[in-house]
Structure 1
Amino acid sequence: MSMPITTDAPAAAPAPTSDRRTRALLACGVGPLLFIVVILIEGAFRPGYSALHHWGSELSLSEYGWQQIINFLVAGVMTLAFAVGLRRALAPRGGPGAAAIPLLTGLLGVCLIVQGVFVCDPYVGYPAGSQGTADASFHGWVHGINMFPTFVAYSGVILAAAYCAFRRRDGLPWALFSLIAGIVVPVALYIGITRFNMDTQTGTYHGLWQRISLGTGGLWFALLAARLLRRHDSHPRSTAATG
């Protein structure tokens, strides 16, 4: 008796747990973009606050300051998770970017958490009626100093990705965008710093320039996450490096 012949294709195997975890971790790359979006929304509705002329960190002050503190902490945790996802996604290809990019991203995540834990001191004008801070508190000092490694990591990871992209010829538009973003992030912040006088604790448009810096970096991270997720879906076992 002959056996019936079936032409049914075998059922697709479910995605390995490790692949699903990597995908979830990579999705956390939207964290820096959500961070600046929250700052923009908070700054638009906070009484007495000017998004153009106040630092984003000043949103950590006043009775609503807990919202920005949570924003710092959530963004930091998401960025740390993204760093783990980057390591898992980039490791198969190897090269300098496989180590430097996740490491700098992890440093950025830690710095964001530190900014949330150590709240800045009040400057002149915010919260309403503030005359500034004569002597910096310990948490205000830590917050101020921590800004430098934060933006070193922020621009460093973008420039590292740009270098790898040019080296591996991994898409000229992406390489150029990464290079431009890696320059805009620190330059815009520097312009903002020059617009603020620490002696009088006042300034003009430093908030705008900081938002340009954070917005550029946040957009870059979100696009990097989308880029890696797309590649991970195409090659779940060996996601190519961002370059």
Structure 2
Amino acid sequence: MTTLDRALLTTGLFIPLWLLLGVWFTAQAYPGYQHLQQAMSQLGATGAPTAAFSPWVNNFPLALLFALFAWGLARRWRRSNVALASALLVLLHGVASLGTGAFACDPGCTPTEPSFSQHMHNLSGLLMFLSLTLAALLWVWMALRTADSRLLASGSLLCAVVSIGTVALMARAAETGQLFGLYQRINYGVALLWIAGLAWYSLRQPVSGQAKLPVA
């Protein structure tokens, strides 16, 4: 594995930490912000005290990290079409992260008459959810097929199940107004921990093991 490959894959290890620190840092400048109740998107919402810099601390750097990790994933597992498809999904997730930052949600993020920016923000958020959930499901198949890591297969399946389950909880919380922030953080936090786990696995797996990977 080349130095470039290692550098690209290592970005996946930093993604959860970046989100954790970025959201915490941004929230310090938002008086009264409640992590358990409020969506992370409210930090960059129109009219929010942190709207001007939140995307530059969170969405845009994360988009770059996802793009770099996707590149590393594609280089590392280039002999597998399934792995390449997962890398494309990770790249799509990065593009969607860019979209959620470029298109701020309306004040409160739950307007009765959403603006164009709110619609684009919601679409980007949907793409973020679908892309990483599908990528995780692909790696369930990959890990089981190669028999190299049942732990990765289990983790990938757990990520997909938790992502789908917490989306349902988020939908209910949006109606009741209770604990939306908590469920969102569990939803995205588990997905990003999976990214870090995939990065760790890709870095540790011997290059010679790549020959075991199926082409399809």
TM-score (norm: length of structure 2): 0.86
Identify if the C-alpha distance between structure 1 residues 31 and 240 changes in structure 2 by more than 3 Å, giving closer, same or farther.
Answer: farther
Correspondence for 1:30 among 4, 13, 16: 13
Which residue, out of 194, 197, 205, partners 2:179? 205
Contact 1:161 1:178 in 2 (8 A): yes
Distance 1:149 1:215 in 2: 16
Question: Which AA in structure 2 matches 1:208?
Answer: L
Measure how far apart 1:55 and its partner are: 0.6
Between the aligned partners of 1:91 and 1:133, the Cα distance in structure 2 is 44
**Structure 1 contact 166–172 (Cα < 8 Å) conserved:** yes
1:152 equivalenced with 2:139 (yes/no) = no
Say whether the 8 Å CA contact 2:136–2:157 is kept in structure 1: yes
Q: Give the unaligned 5+ runs of structure 1.
A: 1-14, 125-131
Q: Which residue of 2 aligns with 1:177?
A: 155
The equivalent of 1:83 in structure 2 is: 70
- 1:64 aligned partner: 50
Q: Provide the C-alpha distance between the structure 2 equivalents of 1:98 and 1:133, rounded to a whole number of angstroms.
A: 39
Q: Would the alpha carbon gap of residues 110 and 60 (structure 1) be closer, same or farther in structure 2, given more than 3 Å must change? A: same
Which runs of no fewer than 5 residues in structure 2 stay unpaired? none
Taking the aligned partners of 1:109 and 1:190, their CA distance within structure 2 comes to 23
Q: Greater share of helix residues, 1 or 2?
A: 2
- Which residue of structure 2 aligns with residue 216 of structure 1? 190
Structure 1 residues 39 and 194: CA distance shift in structure 2, 3 A: farther
What is aligned with 1:54? 38
Residues 83, 106 of structure 1: 8 Å contact kept: yes
What amino acid does structure 1 have at the position aligned with 2:17?
L
How many residue pairs get matched?
Answer: 209
**Residues 10-52 of structure 1: CA deviation (Å, up to 9, x unaligned):** xxxxx8xxx1211111111135413431355147633121111
2:117 is equivalent to residue 139 of structure 1: yes
Percent identity over the alignment? 28
Q: State the alpha-carbon separation in 2 of the partners of residues 168 and 147 from structure 1.
A: 32
Q: Deviations over 1:63-108 (max 9, x none)?
A: 322342111010011101111111100013x2x4222111111110
Task: Letter of the 1:184 partner, please give it.
Answer: V
C-alpha distance 156-146 of structure 1, shift in aligned 2 (>3 A): same
CA distance, structure 2, for counterparts of residue 168 and residue 116 of structure 1: 37
Q: 1:104 corresponds to which residue?
A: 89
Instruction: Write the distance in 2 (CA, Å) between the matches of 1:118 and 1:138.
Output: 9
- In structure 1, what residue type is equivalent to 2:35? A
**Superposition RMSD on alpha carbons, in Å?**
2.4
Is 2:167 aligned against 1:194? no
Quick one: distance in 2 between partners of 1:35 and 1:151? 18
The Cα shift of 1:173 comes to 1.9
- Measure the CA separation in 1 of the matches of 2:137 and 2:210: 23
Answer with 1 or 2: which has the greater Rg.
1
